[in-house]
């Protein structure tokens, strides 16, 4: 549509533009700066060109961390999306149960990320944690501090606990917007429970599911606080994700150049993924 | 006066409005009649200033307002859906445009109470819109449009979501409600019947173009082309391809009809004739008439009238006959037609009357 | 197909209640004959959709029983009742093709694919969507979508009844004519039991053999279109059916004469019993003649609606509408005559029997 022109519109977007400039563009330019420079301290910088990028892209350490990130995101999505749908499908549509369910679902989302980490760090401890101690008592050899597999289980369990609610809430919003007539028609057409899900609920949830996948992918790909608090990236490098590695490199080893290069690559990947999702979503809309 | 000059809109490569020009006078009721997607809503959005045309101009009292946004024009709009502020009482809903305009309290109160009285909403002023019936909700929306005292009032199928009988009542009230304010009224509808009941002027729309504009009854009785005649017929128009030979209209494998007086002076050749369903009858009319034969496919009875669907010369015709007539499928019936009721259109769909006048 | 008996059905939404006013359906006791075409006609909120949903099992009535061919189906679910229903707004399965949408109810019931194909193609031809067969349903316009919904309702030949809930609301006027006459032809051909809910008198009268007029949760009259037109049992029926509705005027009765102010109207027949309560005379605009004889009338407005004109006039201060032919004249000093054949008498809104 050709909307009528109105100059006031620009004043409306101005604050957002300023905010984005201050919070995103300017820091990003600093990082870009670092990624093409080398320094030996004393505030002396030298031009390094694409050296850091080449180093990063050929380093095993980078690719190992990247692999862990992708693996983590894949597992988390594979659990949270179906689980979120199942929970949303079984939530009440009306009555007093609705606010109860919604509030209890929203609770994990309200807890600060480092607190979530701390909760699970304690929760999983084999000496005093409810989870760790109980698992030990029933004879399961569980110890996230020493065992890489247990560390992964703990980190994934934590993420599922923390974020499935988001998927549930999004799906629930999609489900309640389906008019009653659709369910009535399905009954009359003799549709099975599965057919109702497959041909009515899933198509109507399509959009929110895409948004859920996008949000959960980006969030899980950027995961930092929780595993940092729980495992600190260990045991060994088992749960060292890109973000944790980045901090180790920049703050621990003070390799600002490679760290900057890495964060730009990291940023570009996320940008690429978001673009893919965006294209899929808008194409889907255009098809409607 | 609202003037639309040669306006077109293209959206994503598709033409929504195609070279529309129309002048609407103050204090008139103008109906936009056409099927879904014929461009009624698009045209209204252009008039309101919600959209900007790709080409052409919109003028109010001779002043170009093409690019002026809706906020700066004095426009009121009522939609098919009942749109009110759900968290405000009916009173506050009606008062809202006046509050925005910064009117003083006493003036607002008077205007709201007058409008409410006019629309029979006085007992509901303290209620919330969603607790009211559909008719009352739409009355609230209409009251809001009235108090605004707009120069242009756009009504986009405002009665479509209401009961038949409620529609009848509101439809009768609408012209009266708006007549006093001296604004330009535009009313979009898909129903020919509704246009006729509203009266005023009618513009028939088809595929983004205005096919004819004039006093409603004139457009109905003297359509200038076949598309207009079809748009303005309910039940659907009866048509048939004929060959004009001298003063006769010959039907393939059928009888010949006399040429109606209004089509004198047209050249011989292929034409399409059209007859309104109520101009066919089962009894002999008083004037000169021709008898035709057709086969009944189905009869619909409304209580006082019968819609007799006929197969006539290979096409489906509908006759609106007075009284109740029961026929079985396949029955042969004789029906009558007065030649003066035959409308003749040439191969391009132009009315022979206008061709004869032009010649 | 089945005969449907509604055995003392009452329904209230929400909590159980004793107050009659809270019943959405007050008491419905009626039989829909096997193979009949019925319309439930009334304003919104009269309980017609509730009644339809009780028949299909989407709503469980608070009281009463439903029988299909004498078998009690009250406790059965919608699926088990084996009915088809078409809703007011199109319900389509977005992700399926047009073909699959129509095949869906058949496949769900395990019909053989050859039979599915034959039926679906027949319906596609009927609703004129053959060229869309393999297109995804979501790109269609509202009336095409509604045609699919209609098609899905007609696709199963073995249903007990086909129920329609204002199915033509979103359809353009011209398409309405086509679909309505197709439905009627279909009914004639296959003899389905059809129940059609609408607020539109034209749809109800043209579709149904028997029209059930409902008002405030009750059935006010059941009859053929002709009966409803000529002998409305209640002034509401007179008002609701006909456009404009019946004129209702207060009168005083003196044997075979009705008196409006100073005017006397000779009745065809006198009431069999002297009625009590408020007496009114009902006459449809179609039976009001305007000419040089009769009661003096003041014409307030003439509406030219194309095929005829509606004359609004006042007689003794009462509004009277009359229908005038396209070519008829209104004299300078108009007078009115009520055609005795079109006169009905009402006492407290219910029709008074007269000797025939």
CA distance C116 to C100: 10
Q: Where are the domains of chain C?
A: 4-235, 244-351
Give the global pTM: 0.82
Q: How many helices (H) and strands (E) does chain A have?
A: 14, 2
Per-residue confidence (pLDDT) for residue A258, from 0 to 100 = 77
C23-68 residue pLDDT tens: 888 888 889 999 999 999 998 888 899 999 999 998 888 889 999 9
CA distance A160 to A154: 10
CA distance C160 to C162: 7
DSSP letter string, C235-278: HHHHHHSSSS--EEEE-EEETTEEEETTEEEE-SS-BSS---S-
Which of C 238-297 lie inside 8 A of B, CB atoms? 239-245, 284, 286
Partner B contacted by C45 (CB < 8 A): yes
Q: Which residue in A203, A195, A183, A185 sits closest to C108, CA to CA?
A: A195
Q: Which two tokens stand for residue C148?
A: 């699919």
Closest residue, chain B, to A1 (C-alpha): B11
| C149 min Cα distance to partner chain A (Å) | 9
B143-173 as b/e: b if 16+ CB within 10 A: bbbbbbbbbbbbbbbbbbbbbbbbbbebbbe
> Reduced to 3 states, what is the DSSP secondary structure of residue B206?
strand
pLDDT at B254 over 70: yes
Q: B133 CB contacts (<8 Å, ≥6 apart)? A: C44, C45
Q: Where are the domains of chain A?
A: 59-254
CA distance B207 to B14: 11
C93 and A199: CB-CB below 8 Å?
A: yes
CA distance C156 to C162: 10
DSSP letter string, B120-146: T-GGGTTS-GGGS-HHHHHHHHHHHHH
CA distance A32 to B356: 79
Angle, alpha carbons C94-C97-C99 (nearest 5°): 130
Average pLDDT of the segment spanning C295-308: 89
Burial of A125 (0-12, 13-18, 19+ CB in 10 A): middle
CA distance B153 to B168: 20
By a Cβ cutoff of 8 Å, what residues of chain B touch chain C? 35-37, 133-134, 163-166, 168, 190-193, 196-197, 199, 217, 220-221, 230, 234-236, 276, 278, 297-298, 300-304, 307, 309, 318, 320, 324, 329
- Nearest CB neighbour to B301, from listed C181, C206, C326: C206
CA distance C126 to C145: 14
Instruction: Report chain C's mean pLDDT, rounded to a whole number.
Output: 88
C66-112 residue pLDDT tens: 999 989 999 998 888 999 999 988 889 988 999 999 999 999 988 99
Class for the domain spanning A59-254 = mainly alpha
Average pLDDT of the segment spanning B268-280: 92
What's the complex ipTM?
Answer: 0.85
Q: What percent of chain C has pLDDT over 70?
A: 97
Chain B neighbours (≥3 Cβ pairs under 8 A) are: A, C
Tell me the range of A49-58, A162-171, C325-334 where mean pLDDT is highest: A162-171
Average pLDDT of the segment spanning A222-228: 78
Tokens 């969507």 identify what position? C129
Strand duo B201-206 + B29-33: pairing: parallel
B214-238 residue pLDDT tens: 999 999 999 999 999 999 998 899 9
B67 and A5: CB-CB below 8 Å?
A: yes
Per-residue confidence (pLDDT) for residue A41, from 0 to 100 = 63
Q: Which fold has domain C4-235?
A: Rossmann fold (3.40.50)
Partner B contacted by A10 (CB < 8 A): no
Contact list, B52 vs chain A (CB under 8 Å): 2-5
Instruction: Report chain A's mean pLDDT, rounded to a whole number.
Output: 81
Per-residue confidence (pLDDT) for residue B220, from 0 to 100 = 94
> Using CA of residue A242, residue A246, residue A248, residue A249, what is the dihedral sign?
positive
Contact list, C178 vs chain B (CB under 8 Å): 236
| A204 min Cα distance to partner chain C (Å) | 9
| A198 min Cα distance to partner chain C (Å) | 9
pLDDT at A71 over 50: yes
C258-279 residue pLDDT tens: 888 888 888 877 777 777 888 9
Partner B contacted by A44 (CB < 8 A): no
Phi, psi of C49 (to 5 degrees): -70, -35
Burial of B134 (0-12, 13-18, 19+ CB in 10 A): middle
Average pLDDT of the segment spanning B325-346: 91
CA distance A140 to A143: 9
pLDDT at A53 over 80: no
Q: Which fold has domain C244-351?
A: OB fold (Dihydrolipoamide Acetyltransferase, E2P) (2.40.50)
A10, A196, C154 from B66: Cα distances, Å: 21, 49, 50
**Do C38 and C208 form a contact (C-beta atoms < 8 A)?**
yes
Residue C206's CB: how many other CB atoms inside 10 A?
Answer: 24
A27-39 residue pLDDT tens: 788 777 777 777 6
Tell me the range of A282-286, B161-165, C73-77, C140-144 where mean pLDDT is highest: C73-77
Per-residue confidence (pLDDT) for residue B319, from 0 to 100 = 94
**Do C12 and C63 form a contact (C-beta atoms < 8 A)?**
no
Phi, psi of C159 (to 5 degrees): -75, 155
Closest residue, chain A, to B11 (C-alpha): A1
pLDDT at B90 over 90: yes
> Reduced to 3 states, what is the DSSP secondary structure of residue A224?
coil
The band of A1, judged by pLDDT with boundaries at 50, 70 and 90, is very low
By a Cβ cutoff of 8 Å, what residues of chain A touch chain C? 179, 181-182, 184-185, 187-192, 195, 199-200, 203-204, 287-288
Q: A16 CB contacts (<8 Å, ≥6 apart)? A: none
Average pLDDT of the segment spanning B265-292: 88
A71, A247, B223 from A60: Cα distances, Å: 16, 17, 81
pLDDT at B333 over 50: yes
B55-87 residue pLDDT tens: 999 998 888 888 888 888 888 889 888 888 988
Q: A97 CB contacts (<8 Å, ≥6 apart)? A: A91
């Amino acid at each position: 549509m050709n909307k009528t022109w109105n100059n006031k519109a620009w004043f409306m977007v101005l604050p957002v533009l300023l905010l984005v400039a201050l919070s995103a563009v300017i820091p990003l330019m600093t990082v870009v700066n670092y990624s093409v420079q080398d320094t030996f301290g004393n505030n002396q910088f030298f031009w390094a060109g694409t050296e850091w990028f080449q180093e990063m892209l050929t380093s095993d350490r980078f690719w190992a961390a990247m692999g862990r990130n992708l693996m983590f995101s894949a597992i988390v999505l594979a659990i949270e999306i179906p689980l979120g749908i199942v929970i949303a499908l079984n939530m009440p549509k009306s009555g007093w149960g609705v606010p109860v369910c919604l509030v209890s679902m929203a609770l994990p989302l309200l807890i600060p990320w480092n607190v979530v980490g701390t909760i699970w760090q304690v929760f999983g401890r084999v000496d005093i944690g409810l989870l760790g101690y109980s698992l030990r008592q029933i004879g399961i050899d569980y110890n996230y501090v020493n065992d890489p597999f247990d560390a992964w289980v703990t980190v994934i369990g934590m993420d599922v606990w923390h974020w499935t609610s988001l998927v549930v809430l999004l799906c629930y919003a999609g489900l309640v917007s389906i008019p009653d007539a659709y369910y009535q028609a399905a009954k009359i057409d003799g549709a099975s429970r599965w057919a109702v899900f497959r041909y009515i609920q899933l198509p109507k949830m399509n959009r929110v599911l895409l948004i859920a996948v996008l949000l959960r992918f980006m969030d899980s790909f950027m995961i930092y606080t929780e595993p940092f608090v729980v495992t600190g990236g260990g045991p060994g490098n088992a749960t060292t994700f890109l973000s944790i590695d980045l901090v180790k490199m920049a703050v621990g080893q003070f390799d600002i150049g490679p760290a900057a290069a890495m964060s730009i690559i990291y940023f570009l990947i996320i940008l690429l993924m978001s673009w893919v999702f965006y294209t899929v979503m808008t194409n889907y809309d255009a098809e409607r | 006066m609202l003037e639309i000059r040669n306006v077109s809109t293209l959206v994503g490569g598709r033409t929504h409005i195609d070279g529309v020009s129309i002048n609407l006078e103050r204090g008139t009721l103008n109906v936009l009649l056409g099927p879904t997607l014929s461009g009624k809503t698009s045209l209204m959005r252009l008039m309101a200033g919600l959209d900007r045309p790709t080409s052409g101009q919109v003028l109010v009292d001779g002043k170009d307002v093409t690019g002026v946004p809706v906020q700066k024009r004095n426009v009121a709009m009522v939609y098919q859906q009942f749109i009110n502020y759900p968290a405000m009482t009916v009173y506050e809903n009606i008062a809202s445009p006046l509050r925005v305009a910064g009117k003083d309290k006493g003036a607002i109160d008077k205007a709201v109470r007058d409008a409410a009285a006019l629309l029979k909403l006085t007992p509901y002023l303290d209620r919330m819109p969603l607790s009211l019936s559909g008719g009352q909700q739409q009355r609230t929306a209409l009251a809001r449009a009235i108090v605004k005292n707009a120069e242009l009032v756009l009504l986009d199928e405002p009665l479509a979501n209401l009961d038949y009988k409620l529609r009848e009542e509101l439809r009768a009230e609408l012209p009266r409600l708006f007549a006093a304010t001296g604004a330009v009224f535009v009313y979009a509808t898909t129903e020919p019947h509704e246009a006729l009941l509203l009266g005023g002027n009618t513009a028939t729309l088809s595929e983004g173009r205005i096919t004819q504009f004039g006093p409603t009854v004139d457009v109905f009785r003297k359509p200038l082309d076949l598309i207009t005649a079809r748009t303005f017929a309910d039940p659907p128009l009866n048509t048939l391809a004929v060959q004009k030979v001298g003063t006769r209209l010959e039907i393939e494998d059928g009888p010949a009809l006399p040429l109606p007086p209004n089509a004198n002076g047209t050249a011989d050749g292929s034409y399409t004739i059209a007859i309104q369903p109520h101009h066919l009858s089962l009894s002999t009319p008083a004037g000169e008439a021709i008898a035709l034969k057709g086969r009944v496919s189905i009869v619909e009875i409304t209580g006082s009238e019968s819609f007799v669907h006929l197969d006539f010369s290979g096409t489906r015709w509908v006759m609106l006959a007075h009284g109740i007539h029961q026929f079985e499928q396949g029955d042969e019936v004789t029906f009558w037609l007065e030649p003066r009721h035959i409308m003749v259109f040439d191969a391009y769909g132009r009315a022979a009357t206008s061709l004869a006048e032009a010649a | 197909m089945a005969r449907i008996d509604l055995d003392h059905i009452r329904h209230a939404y929400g909590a159980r209640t004793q107050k009659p006013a809270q019943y959405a359906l007050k008491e419905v006791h009626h039989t829909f004959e096997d193979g009949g075409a019925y319309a439930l006609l009334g304003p919104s909120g009269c309980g017609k959709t509730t009644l339809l949903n009780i028949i299909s099992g989407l709503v469980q009535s608070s009281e009463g029983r439903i029988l299909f061919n004498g078998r009690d189906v009250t406790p059965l679910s919608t699926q088990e009742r084996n009915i088809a229903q078409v809703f007011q707004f199109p319900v389509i399965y977005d992700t399926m093709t047009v073909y699959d949408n129509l095949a869906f109810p058949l496949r769900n019931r395990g019909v053989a694919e050859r039979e599915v194909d034959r039926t679906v193609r027949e319906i596609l031809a009927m609703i004129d969507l053959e060229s869309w067969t393999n297109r995804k349903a979501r790109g269609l316009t509202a009336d095409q979508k509604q045609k699919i919904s209609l098609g899905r309702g007609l696709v199963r030949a073995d249903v007990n009844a086909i129920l329609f809930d204002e199915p033509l609301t979103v359809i353009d006027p011209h398409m309405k004519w086509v679909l309505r006459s197709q439905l009627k032809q279909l009914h004639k051909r296959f003899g389905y039991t059809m129940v059609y809910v609408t607020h539109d008198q034209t749809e109800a009268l043209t579709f149904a053999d028997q029209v059930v007029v409902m008002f405030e949760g009750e059935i006010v009259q059941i009859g053929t279109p002709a009966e409803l037109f000529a002998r409305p049992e209640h002034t509401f029926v007179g008002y609701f059916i006909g456009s404009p509705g019946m004129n209702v005027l207060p009168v005083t009765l003196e044997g075979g004469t009705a008196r409006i102010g100073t005017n006397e109207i000779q009745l065809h027949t006198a009431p069999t019993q002297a009625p009590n309560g408020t007496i009114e005379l009902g006459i449809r605009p179609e039976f009001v003649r305007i000419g040089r004889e009769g009661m003096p009338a003041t014409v307030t407005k003439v509406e030219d609606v194309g095929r005829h004109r509606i004359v609004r006039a006042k007689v003794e201060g009462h509004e009277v509408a009359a229908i005038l032919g396209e070519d008829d004249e209104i004299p300078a000093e108009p007078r009115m005559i009520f055609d005795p054949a079109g006169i009905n008498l009402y006492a407290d809104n219910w029709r008074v029997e007269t000797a025939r």
